Amino acid sequence: MRPFKYALLSALLAGVTMPAALAEEKEAWRLFVSDHGAATVTAIDAEKGDVLERLSLKGPAGLYRTDSGETVFAVQGSAGTVQAVRSGIAFDDHGDHGDIDISDVKLTDFALAGGKPGHFVELRGNIAMWFDGEDKAQLFTERDAARGEAKPRPVSVGAAHHGVAVPYGDYAVVSVPNPEDASKRPIGARVVKGEDEQVGAVADCPGLHGSAASGSIYALACNTGLLLIEAKDGVPEIRHLPYSPSLPEGSASTLIGGKGIRYFVGNYGADRIVLIDPAEADGFRLVQLPTRRVHFAADPVRPQFVYVITEDGKLHQVNFLTGMIAHSLDLTQPYSMDGHWSDPRPRIAIAGDEIVVTDPLNGKLHLVDAASFTKTREIAVEGVPFNIVAVGGGGHVHATE
Ligand code: ZN
Ligand code: ZN
């Protein structure tokens, strides 16, 4: 409420009546949950627990929200397509305060077809969609997709492989396939201008897999360390951050990035995670988990916290600053990491002051209060709720526009 009072006070002191003085503060969060086997996404009002919309897609989807939260992308690997959903929550920066604009959830007309859609990367409204079965990645903007228009720009990736592209306007960073066998892990990354003009040398990154953004840095995980990408005057530059010699043998192949604090967290063996401070030469700390890791997520609101769910059904709060597990909570039934990697297992999203965890085999979401780290409620979801993203926040709703 402080910004509101401040705006009101400023208006009174200035002797004018500002529309902001009539504004009402409103907070809204929506959960988007895809089914493990069915081609559906359920949009849920997080506060009320009500289903807002049940959208029919072409195939089961992995979900990605953009930084703005205005769009949720449904990457449908088996159906060979990517669709875009307007979340119905948008924010407008008014300088001293932000407005929240709430409207209906809507499946847009945007559809991007291609062989085996894989990794999705968004940076500041620019999106790079990777297709494992194509020798080109496709770049487009969130703005076009939200309007239902697909105007992708192709970027050559050499040969079809399981890799990643990172969008930087006219440039992109793309993985470099193994020249002997493109079905193996990529060997490096390169900067490409336009469709296929390489800028500079290939940066070595054997075994490249896993990537995440944190602040102005985008990181790719390699067997040897991380590649850190930062744009200088709009042109991406790549440097290598080697793993610390003090780490045991291993490497990361899945990364998440901190928001508000610049850090990365990776897997490092099945039952450990590694906390990475990219500003330090020896900024790697291992955290031993009690059992194998199922999923992890960084808290954008309380940026020092990372949540990890392990196969024993426990949710852990890891404090990046101390490098310790601060709290653990029994949440779901056990979900063994034996079996297929794509079996239904819990996934984590953060919706404001709540941590939301899917429990696919029990058809529900568990909601945990982030402050007390206790479970507060459940939301039932039809089918096998699997992937989840949350969008929302607080802002002004003006009585007069
Ligand atoms: Zn406003
Ligand atoms: Zn992958």
pLDDT tens-digit profile of 32-49?
999 999 999 999 999 999
C-alpha 118 to ligand 2 mean position (Å): 7
**What's the token pair of residue 67?**
């930084």
What is the band of 21 on the pLDDT scale with cuts at 50, 70, 90?
low
Tell me, what DSSP letter sits at residue 35?
E
Distance 352 CA to ligand 1 centre (A): 21
Q: What value does the CA radius of gyration of the chain take, rounded to a whole number of Å?
A: 21
* Contact call for residues 237 and 173 (beta carbons, < 8 A): no
Q: Is 328 inside any structural domain?
A: yes
Residue type, 386: F
266, part of any domain? yes
Start-to-end C-alpha separation, the chain: 20
On the question of pLDDT at 22 being above 90, the answer is no
Percent of the chain with pLDDT over 90: 90
CA of 400 relative to ligand 2 center, distance in Å? 48
Tokens of 16: 């004018």
Position 281 scores a pLDDT of 79
Count of C-beta atoms within a 10 Å radius of residue 109:
12
Q: What is the whole-number distance in angstroms between the Cα of residue 396 and the centre of ligand 1?
A: 6
18 in a structural domain? no
Domain count for the chain, please give it.
1
pLDDT at 4 over 50: no
Low-confidence winner among 12-26, 184-198, 206-220, 381-395 (lowest mean pLDDT):
12-26
Q: Please give the distance, rounded to the nearest whole angstrom, from the Cα atom of residue 94 to the centre of ligand 1.
A: 5
What is the Å distance from ligand 2's center to 315 Cα? Answer: 24
Q: Which ligand is nearest to the CA of 75?
A: 2
Length of the chain: 401
pLDDT reported for residue 5: 44
Q: If you average pLDDT over residues 211-222, what whole number do you get?
A: 98
**Which residue from 81, 141, 72 is spatially nearest to 105, judged by alpha carbons?**
72
Q: Are 354 and 370 in contact (CB under 8 A)?
A: yes
Tokens of 395: 């802002």
pTM for this prediction? 0.93
Residue 293 one-letter amino acid: R
| Range in 34-38, 111-115, 147-151, 193-197 the model is least confident about | 147-151
What are the Cα distances from residue 300, in Å, to 37, 38, 154, 235? 29, 30, 32, 27
**Average pLDDT over all residues of the chain:** 94
In the reported structure, the alpha carbon of residue 22 is separated from the centroid of ligand 1 by a whole-number distance in angstroms of 10
Closest ligand to residue 341's CA: 2
Domain that holds residue 354: 109-396
User: How many Å apart are CA 152 and CA 135, to the nearest integer?
Assistant: 14
Let me know if residue 98 belongs to a domain: no
Count the Cβ atoms, other than its own, within 10 Å of residue 159: 15
Whether 211 is in a domain gets the answer yes
Q: Compute, in angstroms, the gap from residue 325 CA to the centroid of ligand 1.
A: 40
Give the number of the ligand closest to the Cα of residue 399.
Answer: 1
How many CB atoms lie under 10 A from the CB of residue 45?
16
Structure-token pair, residue 88: 């119905």
298 found inside a domain: yes
Distances 190 to 174, 198, 201, 229, 328 between C-alpha atoms, Å: 6, 7, 7, 10, 41
Beta strands at 272-276 and 217-221: parallel, antiparallel or unpaired: unpaired
Strand, helix or coil for residue 69: coil
Determine, yes or no, domain membership for 257: yes
Distance from C-alpha of 88 to C-alpha of 102, rounded to nearest angstrom: 5
CATH code for the domain of 144: 2.130.10.10
Which residue has better confidence, 98 or 373?
373
Contacts with 70 (C-beta within 8 Å, 6 or more apart), sequence order: 86, 87, 89, 90, 142, 146, 391
Nearest-ligand number for the alpha carbon of 342? 2
Query: Which numbered ligand comes closest to the C-alpha of 116?
Result: 2
Q: What is the mean pLDDT of residues 194-215?
A: 98
Give pLDDT tens digits for 296-342.
999 999 999 999 999 999 999 999 999 999 999 999 999 999 999 99
Q: What is the mean pLDDT of residues 276-303?
A: 96
Band of pLDDT at residue 8, cut at 50, 70 and 90: very low
Q: What is the pLDDT of residue 23?
A: 76
**SS3 call for 378:** strand
Percent over 70 (pLDDT), the chain: 94
Q: Which residues contact 356 (CB under 8 A, 6 or more apart)?
A: 31, 46, 348, 349, 350, 365, 366, 367, 368, 388, 390
* CA of residue 302 to ligand 1 center, whole Å: 25
What is the Å distance from ligand 2's center to 210 Cα? 7
Ligand nearest to the CA of 91: 1
Tokens of 392: 């929302």
Q: Could you tell me if residue 336 is inside a domain?
A: yes
Confidence category of residue 150, pLDDT binned at 50, 70, 90: confident
User: Which numbered ligand comes closest to the C-alpha of 175?
Assistant: 2
